[in-house]
Amino acid sequence: MQVMFHAGVHCTDDDRVLKCLLKNRGDFSDIGSLVPPPGRYRKLLHQTLVALSNAEPAPDARDILLDTILDGEQADRLLLSNENLFCIAKLAINNGVFYPNAAVRVGQLKSLFRGDQIELFLAIRNPATFLPALYEKAPVEDFIELTRGTDPRQLRWSELVWRIRTDHPDVPLTIWCNEDSPLIWAQIIREMAGLNPGTKIKGGFDLLAEIMTRDGMKRFRDYLAKHPVMTEIQKRRVMVAFLDKFAREDMIEEELDLPGWTEELVDELTEAYDEDMFEISRIPGVTFIAP
């Protein structure tokens, strides 16, 4: 069985991946890709992984877990989503790195699903906006507690990706920038479900609709109806063109309200993030989805 894990990261998703997968649940099941309700696996999987911190899984652990997740359904490909797969939000930064426990957790998943092919799907986000959003989300007293004193300029997503790839070269990773999600949303969902490029899905423009005016979305859909034969690259160019005219400014502008943060620091973090994305796109075993 193939087991696809969408692991967040925090403050990139708000369960949108899960909601879109569930919206397509019937169609996906026809091709052997199962989208179980989160109530079947999130708490159970967490409890199981915590238990694996001190011991190897019992010989029948996988079968017992899958019996609950599948609930009598059949699947060749299992689609699971949980932004807390690596850890809760307040533990996302330690020892100067993002998600220090990620590679250990992947190892536990491999041990639990021994004999299955697991894959990881991960959205990442500019630290200039990720860290303020994470601070707002995590139950911490102050920013220092969240970062454990780490200088934000030292944090690199590529370090996390290299760590996982080095420890688990047999686990494919699919990575994308959260900032690009509205333009590549349908491709993200198709990659998880194992669909061919260009296959139509429900909700492929849901994120675009969040950042575009209602009139803009209507005109965009009318344009697609009049031009039914377009490549994905052409569609994305059309999306960008419509966003230039009809973007909702309140949805694409972010307020960064952290003590001591300056415009110069934000620019520095953003430039480093751009360089980091180039690094990630070149890491072997990584599928990097870009517009």
Written as six digits, the tokens of 91 are 């533990």
Residue range 161-188, pLDDT digits in tens: 999 999 999 999 999 999 999 999 999 9
State whether residue 160 is helix, strand or coil. Answer: helix
Low-confidence ranges of the chain (pLDDT < 50): none
Residue 144 covered by a domain? yes
Residue 41 covered by a domain? yes
End-to-end CA distance of the chain: 30
Residue 185 covered by a domain? yes
Domain encompassing residue 117? 2-212+247-289
Residue 127 covered by a domain? yes
Q: Please give the C-alpha separations between residue 149 and each of 50, 125, 143, 146, in angstroms, as whole numbers.
A: 27, 20, 8, 8
For residue 156, which of 90, 83, 99, 101 has the smallest C-alpha distance?
99
Residue 46 covered by a domain? yes
Residue 32 covered by a domain? yes
Q: At 28, which CATH number?
A: 3.40.50
d(CA 2, CA 11): 26
Written as six digits, the tokens of 263 are 């415009």
As for how many domains the chain has, the answer is 1
Q: At what angle do helices 157-167 and 263-281 cross, to 10 degrees?
A: 30
The whole-number pLDDT of residue 55 equals 83
Scanning 138-213, the segments in alpha helix (DSSP H) are: 143-147, 157-167, 181-193, 206-211
Residue 223 covered by a domain? no
Residue 235 covered by a domain? no
Residue range 17-68, pLDDT digits in tens: 999 999 999 999 999 999 999 999 999 999 999 888 888 888 899 999 999 9
The whole-number pLDDT of residue 58 equals 87
Q: Please give the C-alpha separations between residue 31 and each of 34, 168, 195, 284, in angstroms, as whole numbers.
A: 9, 28, 9, 29
The whole-number pLDDT of residue 30 equals 92
Exposure letters 216-226 (e unless 16+ CB within 10 A, then b)? bbeebeeeeee
The whole-number pLDDT of residue 180 equals 95
d(CA 175, CA 277): 10
